[in-house]
A and B are shown apart, each in its own frame.
Chain A
Amino acid sequence: MNPLAVLGRTVLAALAAIGRIALFGADAVSHLMRPPYYTREFAAQLLNIGWLSLPVVGLTAVFTGGALALQIYAGGSRFNAEAVVPQIVAVGMVRELGPVLVGLMIAARVTSSIAAEIATMKVTEQIDALVTLSTHPMKYLTVPRVLAAVLVVPFLVGVGDIIGIFGGYAVSTGTLGFNAAAYINNTVNFLEPHDVYSSLTKGAVFGFCAALMGCYHGMNSGRGAMGVGRATKSAVEGAAILILAANFVLTGVFFTL
């Protein structure tokens, strides 16, 4: 077996997969621009992706914010910079950890659920049934999920940012001896509108990636239980990688260019 041939085939397969996902995404966006719109399905997805994700987002953010405060305090104390805890927690949560953690939690919770649901629908011929009932699967299944994720994940990121900062505040004022009023004052004064915009924009992009990967892998799943399992696994892996890659690009765009 020629190792170069194997490498070549792998690269070509990866590029082909990226191309298929890009075309699927473009198709989803084009359907988003044209009626009919299924408002009930869209509302159900807003509830499922947004409201029902709040507990996991909140818990993830509060523990991360608390741990971040402890780490910054411990690290800062090596060069007498313990006082920067409020500022670093705020900027760390809002610019980076809030959007990324919410994105990854959405990938775990929502992408997997979308992929498994759509893949099961494919295996049980429900998608064929949709077509015979004059309903385009892209409009009925993909558009409501992608649109709901794009709109609601920024909201979740905002909530995650606030709860994460609160986690840092609780640990700092409760165990590290920070003054509560000074902590809030430092946090508010340090954050800039640009930080918040970038956080929410990242949320929208991550929501798009998470829902799109769930729909793509669900629609293209193989047969049987193994096909559904593979589709779910590939969707979560793909969404996580896409979110982290998009985060790198967006961070570059927002904060270095």
Chain B
Amino acid sequence: MSRRLLRLAWRNLWRNPRRTLIAMAAIGLGYAMLLFVACLMAGLRQQMVESGTDLVLSDAEVHAPSYYPDRPINQTLGGRDGTDVSALVAAIAADPGVEAASPRVYGYGLISAAHQSVGAQLLGVVPDQEQKITVLQSRMVKGSYLTGAVPKGVVMGDKLATTIGVEVGSEIVLLTPATDGSTGNDLYTVVGMFHTGLDAMDRDLVLMSLASLQDLLRLSPGRIHEVGIKLHDNDITAATKTAVALEVQLSKSFPVRVRAWPELAPELADYVQFNRRVTFILFLIFFLLAVMGIVNTTLMAIVARTRELGMLLAVGMRPVQLVGLIVAEAAILAGGSLVLGGALGSPVLWYLQIHGLYLGGSRGAISLGGVVVGPLWFGRQDFTAYTQAAVGLAVTAVVSALYPALRAARFRPTEALRKV
């Protein structure tokens, strides 16, 4: 396409600024709308995944091969003899995809206070490290998170505390089958309570220090069940890829399985797929609207310019050049519109990412299918979707100009000139 043709196209566009600006507004606003939808949906996805992984699950977990999902207490990493825990955690943290790692021990047993006993899930963690991979410490409603100050302190869900009737400072007894077949039992002090909004956790979970749970289960200090991992990028594909690579790396010392969150919480991964599909459908709707706007404007423009185009043909422009001219006009128009739409949209996207959209609701967060959402809906920048939308709209603008352009190329100059 020659420079002359481009200059001609540019001039043509500004021959009727009003028409051009209206077309630009149609495409630009369409694009801004797509950006808005993509940003909110990506944000919802991210929020669901984070609320699903940030409380206890973490982005990925390292287990002995036969440990998950039944979690038998004697299936520790490195077998009966265990392993050098700090070296293992350091090796995992050294992976470029890993942000932080934290060792864990699981158990289940009876938690008993003065008058009530119920079954509970026991989780042993190293508080300093655990806080780098999960956010349970930010959900404390009474007392404090685990500290080194109270070695036999426990933190539990607020509903569990109500069920057995304990307060911060109360003594509780934990009773659990230990690895050697004996009945592990000991006294602990409640140091804090959390509220996550997830019933399964608020009713069931007791958090304690790794060492005290190992002691209760009669596991030696080198025996742990799991290393929880926070990843830099917890997108489904990225997380799975990092997990696979890490498994290969760690398996050199002893057999392990590394599972990323999509494998640990398939329903969450399903949700992400579902969300992507919904986004696609919404995209399609907005896209169709934008396409109709573009086709309409271009067609109208061509019809209105029949005389002008006939004149160009009459003075000797070849039909191919005419098609080139009209497509060039459409391409310039689309490019300008996208810049305009992006300029209009970016402050909104920025606002959504930083401040979120307040959804209301008097009780704050709600739990939906095992994850907690709201009350603020944050957006997240999804540049892949932005690019796709831009390319899609540009292509549509150009393609939709082709049909009227081809029609114009077939004009017979004499007839075209006679039209008003």
Are A and B associated in one complex?
no
